[in-house]
Amino acid sequence: MLSFQLHAKMRVEPQNWWVGMQNNTLQIMLHDQGIAKQQWQLASYSGVSLKSVTKTDNPNYAFLNIEINPIAKPGVLVFSSKSGEHFEYQLHARKVNSSKRNGFDSSDTIYLINPDRFANGDSSNDTVKGMLEAANPIERGGRHGGDIQGVINALPYLQKLGVTQLWLTPPLENDMPSYSYHGYAITDFYTIDPRMGSNELYRELSVKAKQHGIGIVMDLVLNHFGSEHEWMTDKPTSDWINFNGEFAKGKHATSHARQTIQDPHASEFDKRQFSDGWFVATMPDLNQRQPLLANYLIQNAIWWIEYADLSGIRVDTYSYSDKAFLADWTKAIMTEYPAFNIVGEEWTTNPAIASYWQAGKVNNDGYTSSLPSVMDFSLQESLIQALNEEESWNTGWVKVYQSIANDFLYPNPDNLLVFADNHDMSRVYTQLKQDLAKTKMAMTMLLTTRGIAQMYYGTEVLLDNTGSNDHGDIRIDFPGGFKGQPSNAFTGQGLSDEQHDMQQTITTLLNFRKQSPAIAQGKLVHFSPEAGIYSYARISEQQTLLVFLNKNTAAKNWSLAYLQEVIGQHKQAVSLFTEQQINITDTVTLAPMSATVLIIE
């Protein structure tokens, strides 16, 4: 808890810290009118010292550089200035084994939610007095009222479905005049948006989710922020924002030319246009080369990990930030939490570019990353193409086969995030032209291949945006999450037969993933597609899975002779979906347009 004298409006970030951290330094940012004129001192506190104060070209900011030695105990630091101002600063004890926390891994299924569109658990915060945008549930780009309480209320459903991790698009304050529901125009990096709940409620979500066997993955934005943030009118330093805090379309907009980062022939001008350019005028681009800002962003991530007991981070628009900063940011977090996991969004279907960012990659330019995971956009695109194309030597399943064959480029392909769709693209059911059989094949493949599975909310009940590519329609309201809806995915009421079928298929797959050693640790062996069938095995010491994806419109009596290297002496398997015993000594019958998963114990 903070207390102030005189400068009651002084902003302190981060608002508290912890003893026993691996990094024993802390930088506290103070923001108030003329604060740099004050001369600060720290009252005597064992193991803690104020080493220096950094001032900038803006007299409204001061940065207190603190050292917290291992002997320091939890308690309250008291800072005072010679002119009489003072404030108290809390040092907390860390959760037991906080540094040893395990991040999400290949045994997990991450369920991606746009909280504004998932469930309205507290209608009293739909519109909050003093905030720039009110609720407008009939507008596709408006705020619909979903919130953190709605996610908490849904935890029993998510546990039954088989979800083990939740990724919420940023719930942080987005106090923007319009189109603020998505969360990526942050106006306060340390505060949950009041229309979503509160910091305390977000922490309650984390606690209650863990009681349901579910971890929390926070979506962090390092590249940009919202134009209504106080930094736009009172920058901590003159170089805090790229292009001097000004946006001119065509001049200061990002080129999106991500290949310039790896291109050995790229000009410095092109590199800067990519990394320094803004997305839009409402999302100013941060200059992570500014050391005070870099440290601010590192501390912000660590603060949320400790405060909300996170099990992972997803980083938005990863490669757009300064790459030297990204190396420092990931290293700082992974040094503090060696078993943690972070996935970066690098939206490219070229694995040569995506793999550049994964930890362990030996890059020609000497760049060293500590980022454990990247998103596998190559596989996502290939899977949709494979299911929509006719089979030939260079179309259909061969696209998936070739995409996965590029795994030699990655230091750790088992730690890639695989997905069929997300909040920025049409839903998988839409991309597959509302074909239930194809959608079931797509999800079976993604939930049984190598990597960490991510599923977009509502996929289990075939949410659809056919006829519109507008993000507001892609991020459709979850059935049952809002009053007046004709169907309810939580209870099953009003769902079609196809929706029930898909929901049961997903429930079976997700709950199997939770206890399958072949999924969690198994080696992937896949076979060249033939006759419209793509097949592969997941092999661990305890269990082997055989997966057959049959695009044919007729049943196939399929010979298993080519699978001897993975079947060995086994003669029986159990079908995941039918629970029947299957003889695997000769052939199996594959239903038309179907996914077959056989379990060999």
Alpha helices per DSSP H over 348-397: 351-354, 377-388
Identity at 501, one-letter amino acid code? D
CB 216 within 8 A of CB 308: yes
421 is catalytic: no
Bin 512: left if φ > 0, else alpha if -120 < ψ < 50, else beta. Answer: alpha
**Angle of the 497-515 helix axis to the 436-446 helix axis, nearest 10:** 10
CB 534 within 8 A of CB 402: no
d(CA 58, CA 236): 6
Phi, psi of 427 (to 5 degrees): -65, 150
Identity at 343, one-letter amino acid code? V
Q: Choose among 315, 319, 352, 354: nearest CA to 333.
A: 315
> With the CA atoms of 573, 574, 577 and 580 taken in that order, what torsion angle do they form, in degrees rounded to the nearest 10?
120
| Among 193, 345, 346, 477, the one annotated catalytic | 345
d(CA 482, CA 461): 16
Q: Are strands 544-550 and 581-583 parallel, antiparallel or unpaired?
A: unpaired
CB 122 within 8 A of CB 147: yes
Residues 6+ apart with CB under 8 A from 251: none
Instruction: Report CA Rg, the chain.
Output: 26
Residues 6+ apart with CB under 8 A from 124: none
Q: Choose among 271, 295, 486: nearest CA to 367.
A: 271
328 is catalytic: no
Burial class (CB in 10 A: 0-12, 13-18, 19+), 67: middle
| Among 105, 316, 336, 421, the one annotated catalytic | 316
Residues 6+ apart with CB under 8 A from 507: 160, 161, 162, 460
Residues 6+ apart with CB under 8 A from 263: none
Q: How far is CA 2 from CA 10, 90, 92, 262, in A?
A: 10, 8, 13, 46
Token digits of residue 567: 């079947």
Q: Which residues pair with 418 in a beta bridge?
A: 453
d(CA 569, CA 536): 18
d(CA 71, CA 7): 32
Question: Which residues are the active-site residues?
Answer: 316, 345
